[in-house]
Structure formats: structure tokens, C-alpha cells
Structure 1
């Protein structure tokens, strides 16, 4: 199966998903959001899939949201944030939550830059294996935004609250060694794809019912109040965006042309 921004191939029970926008450093535009969402649904519907490996083409895993492509288009922003109920996961949040809701283990293979939205996608995995040169960051505050792609649910399972707040407020870029020491990633490997494949094969040797039950139980224990977190992410992001749009409108009325998105 192939999407314009995402590819999916099946190999002996392992679904290999590749973010495929290397010319834009795999920055996430609406088409990639939709492509990832569709791939997750395809995996969920295929009982033959026993494990998932997510990687990216090019020099970087993902440099984050394609800000100008998404936020400058009100229709795109609406499609990302719209949801029926506050506690539901919208399209943006399914980039993380969607992987977590699969009944099979998901392994993220990280290299190069894993920033912003890329970090949110990575947090959706049950395991994160990074190359030694990988850099990671929760980058949204650099644009005057908050992390709102569901990664908050997973982040609290990985790191202490002070570390999470520091990463989110400062947009600090950390290396793979630092990320491993604080629990943000699972493993650092010289060949992360090889390590991921070996882990996937190891998991395939176990009962799929056992893997499914373990994932469900452990996520349920660690993810109390998930719907509340998803609602808070969306509410606060919308509040920020409304204020931002109001400031931009005022600047335009005043004749400013050098308008940024902060």
C-alpha cells in the first residue's frame, strides 16, 4: 500500500511504515496526517500483522509540523483539530494515539532530527530505538504553541513531570544519549532498523494474544484520564490559536507585512 506521504509494506507478519517526504525533511503537512491515519486503520484491519516498525526516508525522521502549510490554511487547521467530543482524539492526536490503540507492538526507528510533531509520532510507539546521532525535541513552544498531538499521554509514562515541563517549555534539543538516560527512548543502536527488526522477530515468537493483552493492560494502567488529557490539549491549543489569529488580524489592519506565527 502506498500513500503520497507514507508507504506501507508487509513482510512475514511485520508491517513496515515509512514516512516518505524526505525532500521536506518529512515535515508533516495535511496529506501526511491523512496518510498516517489511513495506514494505521489499514494495519488495524489486518489480522495477519503481528508487529509494526515505523521509520522515515531521508536524513531525518521528522522535523515537525509544516507550519506555514498547515497553520496558514484555516481549513487544514480545522481538519486537524475538529472532534465530535472533547475527549476523542482528533486527526492530529491520532498521530500518537492511533499507534497506541493498535493491538500489536509498535517500534519507532529514529534518526537525524526527531522534533516537534516528529517527537509526538515517536511517542506513539511502544518502543523507540534511535541512532547515536539522533536529536530529539518537543518543539511546539518555539512557535508559540503547545504539544497537542496526543504525545502528552505517552510522555508522562516516560519521564518525570519536571523533565517533561522543561522539554515542552524550552524546546530544548537533546541527543540520543540524554534521551535514553531520562527514559524518553528505549534504546540507542548503531543500526536502529536492524535492532528494531530483531526486536520485532523476538516479539513474533510470543503469543499475539499475550502481546495484545500486555499492551492493553499496561497502557490502561499508565494512561488514566487519557480523555481528559486529549480534551485539555485541544482546548488550550484552540485558545492559543484564537488569540494568535486576533493579533495577526490587528497587525494586518495596521499594515504590517512581516507577520510571523508566534
Structure 2
């Protein structure tokens, strides 16, 4: 279900269940959580196998959950998203084809979201009397604004890559997200980790400023800038 490969500074994590559009069961989420925690490469490219990125939760598995198990399923998805967000590695979501529900939520946790021209997005939970509970109710408004988030979640409508770009759900439309991931991985790994940590910092502004200056000073001490003297 979850396959991995490493090429230099880029690890590729593939949601590999194309016949189910890479929908995630409780077991797959647990596998993904363990996988995310195990990487130390500067960049991780998250992608889906086949014609979809990720259809979100495996509804066949969800249908068999009682309330307690459903609660744990939500918490498991949240742990995966939080791990993606908090790890030092820069996570690049390469979205090709459909991203639905939990698939959108996994992408939201990534640091960079890239879509191919064939990508589409929808928060479809409302159509089933549900909603995405892998952190999407707070990440989606943070990324696209409250108005756009409510529109997507309450309507359940599907948007294409260009509309996703206009509202800020993705940062670029590209033919090959793997190429972008490789380009990012070509930069200094310490600088990449430092930038992610600083931009993810939610401390008060004064503390953020202090941490920013400390981190910059540490990078200057180790950088080789002699050619610029």
C-alpha cells in the first residue's frame, strides 16, 4: 500500500493502491505514519500511483467502524498530517489526478503542493454526511481563507488545478512534480530544514524574530562564503 524509494536527497513515498484510487484504510494510515517518521532525507515527494493522488479515507473500512474506532481513525490521520508538518524533511505533494477528502488533507500538511494539469480537488465528506477529520478543518482555512474553505467543504464541489492555484490551495501547476522536488533537494539541506522550522514557527512574533536571528547566525557560521569577499 505504501511504497518508498530514495534517489540521492529525495525520498519518494507512493500511495500505491491504484484500483482504489489510493484510498487509505486504518492499516495504511498506520503504515504511512511509520514511514513518515523514518525519513532523514532533505526532501520527501508524496505521490499517488495510477490516475489519482488519493481518494482519502477507505469508505469500505470506515463503514465497519464504531464510534471509538472512528475516533481513533481520525486521530491516526491527524498524527500522519502532524508528522508531515513537523518533520525536518521538506514534504512536496505531487498531485496528479484526483485528491479527495483525506487526500486533500494530506496535501495540506505538506510544505509545498504542486499539481499537474490533470489534478482535481474536492472535500466530498459532506455528500456522505461526514467531513474530513485529519486536520483539514483548521488547515484548509489557514491555506485558502475561511470563505474558500467553507465553500469547498459545504458544497462538496470539485475544482481543477487552475482554480486551486487561484485560491492558493497549490503553489504551482507543473508537468512533473518530481523535477521540482529534485531541484529543491539540490539546495543546502541545513538551510532547507531551517527555513521549514522557522516558517512553521507559531511562537509570538518577538520570539520568532529571536529564533530567526539565532538560526541565521548558525547558518552563517557554517556557510562557505569566501568567494564573495
TM-score with structure 1 setting the length? 0.72
Quick check: 17-26 or 7-16, which moved more?
A: 7-16
Q: Distance in 1 between matches of 2:158 and 2:19?
A: 22
Match of 1:210 among 169, 191, 202: 191
Summarize the Cα distance change of 1:189–1:38 in structure 2 as closer, same or farther, 3 Å threshold: same
Check conservation: 1:96, 1:151, Cα contact below 8 A. Answer: no
1:20-99 to 2 correspondences below 5 Å: 20-43=16-39, 46=40, 49-74=41-66, 76-81=69-74, 90-99=75-84
Check conservation: 2:42, 2:192, Cα contact below 8 A. Answer: no
Q: Distance in 2 between matches of 1:170 and 1:194?
A: 34
Check conservation: 1:130, 1:188, Cα contact below 8 A. Answer: yes
Match of 1:172 among 134, 145, 157: 157
Aligned length, in residue pairs: 204
Q: Which runs of 5+ in 2 are unaligned?
A: 205-229
Deviation at 1:186, TM superposition (A): 1.1
Q: Distance in 1 between matches of 2:11 and 2:176?
A: 19
Q: Distance in 1 between matches of 2:14 and 2:132?
A: 23
1:106-255 to 2 correspondences below 5 Å: 106-201=91-186, 205-206=187-188, 208-221=189-202
The CA RMSD measured in Å over matched residues stands at 2.1
Check conservation: 2:141, 2:148, Cα contact below 8 A. Answer: no
Check conservation: 2:42, 2:193, Cα contact below 8 A. Answer: no
| Cα offsets for 1:106-154 (capped at 9, x unmatched) | 1000011011111111111100111101100112211111221013343
Q: Distance in 2 between matches of 1:169 and 1:197?
A: 37
Deviation at 1:222, TM superposition (A): 9.1
Q: Which runs of 5+ in 1 are unaligned?
A: 82-89, 224-262
TM-score with structure 2 setting the length? 0.82
Q: Distance in 2 between matches of 1:58 and 1:222?
A: 40
Task: Say whether 1:7 aligns with 2:21.
Answer: no
Summarize the Cα distance change of 1:113–1:37 in structure 2 as closer, same or farther, 3 Å threshold: same
Question: Per the alignment, in what secondary structure is the counterpart of residue 122 of structure 1?
Answer: helix
The structure carrying a bigger strand percent of its residues is 2
